[in-house]
A and B are shown apart, each in its own frame.
Chain A
Amino acid sequence: MAHNTEYQAEIETEVIFTATVTVLNDWGLHARPAANLARIAQGFAADIYLNAGEHNANAKSILDILTLAATRHTTLTLTCLGTEAKEAGEAILRFFAGK
């Protein structure tokens, strides 16, 4: 899994972290990676979202991630808001990069 762009900014007091990530593993975000991703996201205070087209998923919800139906090569937009947004964003990029 890899990310293409990375953008970071601070608007007023809220930290925003966004990036584009591509799902690279064979079976997409199926149950086990979805569980791992949700567990990583749950470790941060930030609000973390993954967008694919019109679907917007809370990355802390395994059910949301599964219903994204992100198969291999799907491109997702990652958005983290609030406290720990940067740390959360980086952790999630690491997840998509495969470590």
Chain B
Amino acid sequence: MKENLKKHRILTGVAASSGIAVGRALFINRASGGSFSTEIIHPKHFVREEKRLERAVADQACEFENAETKVRGMSQEQSDLLEAYSMICRDPKLMELARKAIRQDRLPAGLAWEKAVRSVLKSFEKIDVPYLRERAEDVKSVGSRVAARLRGRKAEPSPALGCRVIMAHDLTPADTLALAPENILALATEMGGQTSHTGILARGQRLPCVVGVTGLEEAARDGAMVIVDGIRGLVIVNPMPDELAAYQKKQELLNLFEARLRQEAHLPAKTEDGCRVRVYGNIETTNDALRIRDLGGEGIGLYRTEFGYLSRLDLPTEEELYADYTRIVRGMAPDRVVLRTLDIGADKSLAGIPKLEESNPVLGLRSIRLSLYCPDLLRSQCRAILRAATHGNAALMFPMVSGLRELRQAKGIIEEARRELLERGEPCAENLPVGVMIELPSSVFLAPALAKEADFFSIGSNDLIQYILGVDRENKYVSYLYQPLHSAVLEAVRQVVEAARQAGIRVSVCGEMASDPFCLPLLMAMGIDEFSVTPQAIPILKYLIRRLNMPELRKLLAQVYDKVSTETTRRLMEKYMNGRFSQELQFINLGAKEDA
């Protein structure tokens, strides 16, 4: 191992947050931090081991309790979660079991603690209520952090170390909350994908981040010089001098480019020839919403409301949802906020929803189907939305609608919610626009009919592409078939735009396709004039739009319709965009993924 210490390694992962950082590594949470000594202890050390245990537990609990004061703008869910963590940490049952393991089994503190945690986890396994059984994850998370302390590894980088690239096997929400952002240059983890919590946090703090880096723990030692390339998804350990110089140069250029983007962010999204389009942001939390305006966003085109349900231990009440939604709607007014109703599958466990063992969850009880299966849940969310909508410019949107019957059923629930509110004497929005997400091929075929009963369409390109092409892009054996520029996908978009135009309703694109520079020109040429993208993509999208012109784009689209082959379309678009934006494209993470 020693000879690997300075070994140059280039590791690939998933670029989760753009940017480049050069600095020294600091590991805070390895998968196996080495095992504890298994020797039994002498009775004269019982008290010493108990003291070590109490100390580690108290320190960890304090860290959870203090995290709140350190992290500005923490949501209620996050703060509840931390409180539950601290209660689990200080739980008398765990302590009693661990003490018993010290005194009866004569185990040292670390092993005794791990035994106590295992024993509690075993009793959780027997629980037959899924949303209670799932709490085992919290016990594990707390347990491993106390264990790390007993190994002598502190979970938090000390400010004295200066700024570091934080590395970890995986980061739990509690880990990331406990980190002080001002001491972090970048994040890199062995586990995780684009949508993992770490990536979300990194994007929020504008820290470069690469996740899912296989071999990271083995290759990088504490203090090693590393480069984190959040554009291409690379971690370079012990870089060569020329690499280091190249990256420092690239970092400078990137800084200049970003400064330019910031300067231009507030200019309107208008093409060279004066065609005005709208650029909105996709958000998940109330915190995300705060950034939209700074980034030049003209509103929120997709508010994924799942986070309010999943980031907590129980179900949110109507009042809590109302408070969250109101904060966003009021904060963004008079700009628009489109709230998408709950869009999760029965594979995600949610308090109060049956956790199903479905053989094919993607085609199962999910999204609007799940909401219609649990109408109380949907009604409660609709009430919260109807009430929040009185504070600004809000709209509601149903995900994964397959046809008219579902749309009518779901709209029926909005009406029930409205009646309930009227009975309660609660103010609610009179004319809440109700939109349909176009994500299933059936909704493309039925777009003309749906357009008559919907106030707007929003194309959720990620799912639409997945269902049209029958491809799971997370599956590495078939992901090459996931092609946003596939002729069938473009034809679907064309049909949807046409149906919307006939009915006189608006249509936006809110998936990744909207921020893909190679798709953007074609979408614009087809007549899409609203784009909703991940917040950090707003400035670059506006930058590109401001440098395009419609007659040229229409010519491109005609060529694409003419060619019909996906491969030629791809080449045509790459040639065109690389010709126009050769400098800029090197700073855009072309593989960026996002759920929509």
Measured CB to CB, the residues of A under 8 A from B are: 26-28, 30-32, 35, 38-39, 58, 60-64, 66-67, 69, 71
Tell whether, in the assembled complex, residue B124 and residue A32 are in contact, meaning their CB atoms are under 8 Å apart: no
**Apart from A58-B93, A67-B127: 18 A-B pairs, beta carbons within 8 A:** A27-B314, A28-B129, A28-B132, A30-B131, A30-B313, A31-B138, A31-B313, A32-B314, A35-B87, A58-B92, A61-B94, A62-B84, A63-B91, A63-B139, A66-B127, A66-B132, A66-B135, A71-B129
What residues of A have a CB within 8 angstroms of the CB of B131 in the complex? 27, 30
Complex Cα distance A65/B138, Å? 15
Residue pairs across A and B with Cβ atoms less than 8 A apart, 8 shown, are A35-B83, A39-B87, A61-B92, A63-B94, A63-B123, A66-B127, A67-B120, A69-B132
Set of chain B residues within 8 Å of A67, measured between Cβ atoms: 120, 123-124, 126-127, 132
Taking the closest CB of chain B, its distance from the CB of A55, in whole angstroms, is 9
B488 at the interface (CB under 8 A from A): no
- Tell me, in angstroms, the Cα distance from A26 to B315 when the chains sit together: 10
- Interface residues as binary, B128-156 with A (CB distance below 8 Å gives 1, 0 otherwise): 11011001001100000000000000000
CA gap between A40 and B357 in the complex, in Å? 37
Residues 77-100 of B at the A interface (beta carbon under 8 Å): 80, 83-84, 87-88, 91-94
Interface size class of B (residues with CB under 8 A): 20 to 34
**Contacting pair A35 B84 (CB below 8 A):** yes
The CA-CA distance from A3 to B266 in the complex, in Å, is 61
Asked whether any CB of chain A lies closer than 8 Å to the CB of B352, the reply is: yes
> Nearest 4 CB-CB pairs, A to B?
A31-B313, A61-B93, A30-B314, A69-B127
Q: Is B88 touching A69 in the complex (CB atoms < 8 A)?
A: no
Nearest chain A CB to B114 CB, angstrom units: 15
Which single residue of chain B is at the shortest CB-CB distance from A64? B93
Closest partner residue, chain A, to B123 (CB atom): A67
- Whole-angstrom distance between the Cβ of B431 and the nearest chain A Cβ: 32
* A30 CB contacts on chain B under 8 angstroms: 131-132, 313-314, 351
- What residues of chain A lie closer than 8 Å to B84, measured between beta carbons? 31-32, 35, 62
Contact with A along B109-129 (1 / 0, CB 8 A): 000000000001001101111
Contact in complex: A69, B128 (CB < 8 Å): yes
B206 to chain A, nearest CB (A): 32
Q: Majority SS of interface residues in chain B?
A: helix
The interface residues of chain B lying within 8 Å CB-to-CB of A38 are: 87, 91
Question: How many whole Å from B310's CB to the nearest CB in chain A?
Answer: 13
Residue of B127, B129, B139 with most partner-chain A CB within 10 A:
B129
Nearest-CB distance from B113 to chain A (Å)? 14
The residues of B that contact A26 with a CB separation of less than 8 Å are: 315, 352
B80 & A32 in contact (Cβ 8 Å cutoff): yes
Q: Please report the C-alpha to C-alpha distance between residue A61 and residue B84 in the assembled complex, in whole angstroms.
A: 12
Q: Please, how many angstroms separate the alpha-carbon atoms of A63 and B127 in the complex?
A: 12
Contacts of A35 in B (CB 8 A): 83-84, 87
- Residues of B close to A28: CB separation below 8 A: 129, 132
Chain A min CB distance to B238 (Å) = 44
Beyond A31-B135, A32-B80, is A62–B129 a contact (Cβ under 8 Å)? no
Q: Which residues of B contact A61 (CB under 8 A)?
A: 91-94
Q: Contacts A28-B129, A71-B129 known; A62 to B123 CB distance under 8 Å?
A: no
Contacts of B129 in A (CB 8 A): 28, 69, 71
With known contacts A35-B83, A66-B135, A27–B352 Cβ distance under 8 A: yes
**Chain B contacts for A32, CB-based, 8 A:** 80, 84, 313-314
B123 engages A60 (CB within 8 Å): no
Residues from chain A with a CB closer than 8 A to the CB of B83 are 35
Residues of B within 8 A of A69 (CB): 127-129, 132
Please, how many angstroms separate the alpha-carbon atoms of A27 and B84 in the complex?
A: 17
Distance of A66 Cα from B137 Cα, bound (Å): 13
Bound complex: CA of A69 vs CA of B128, how far in Å? Answer: 8
Give the complex CA separation of A24 and B93 in angstroms: 26
Closest to A42 in B: B92
Taking CB atoms, residues of chain A closer than 8 Å to B313 are 30-32
Measured CB to CB, the closest approach of chain B to A52, in angstroms, equals 12
Question: In the complex, which residues of chain B have a beta carbon less than 8 angstroms from the beta carbon of A31?
Answer: 84, 135, 138, 313-314
* A63 to B119 alpha-carbon distance, docked (Å): 11
Roughly how many angstroms separate A81 CA and B135 CA in the complex, as a whole number?
29
A71→B83 CA distance, assembly (Å)? 22
Which of chain A's residues has its CB closest to B80's CB?
A32
- Distance of B44 from chain A, by nearest CB (Å): 30
Residues of A within 8 A of B92 (CB): 58, 60-61
Q: Give chain A residues whose Cβ lies under 8 Å from the Cβ of B314.
A: 27, 30-32
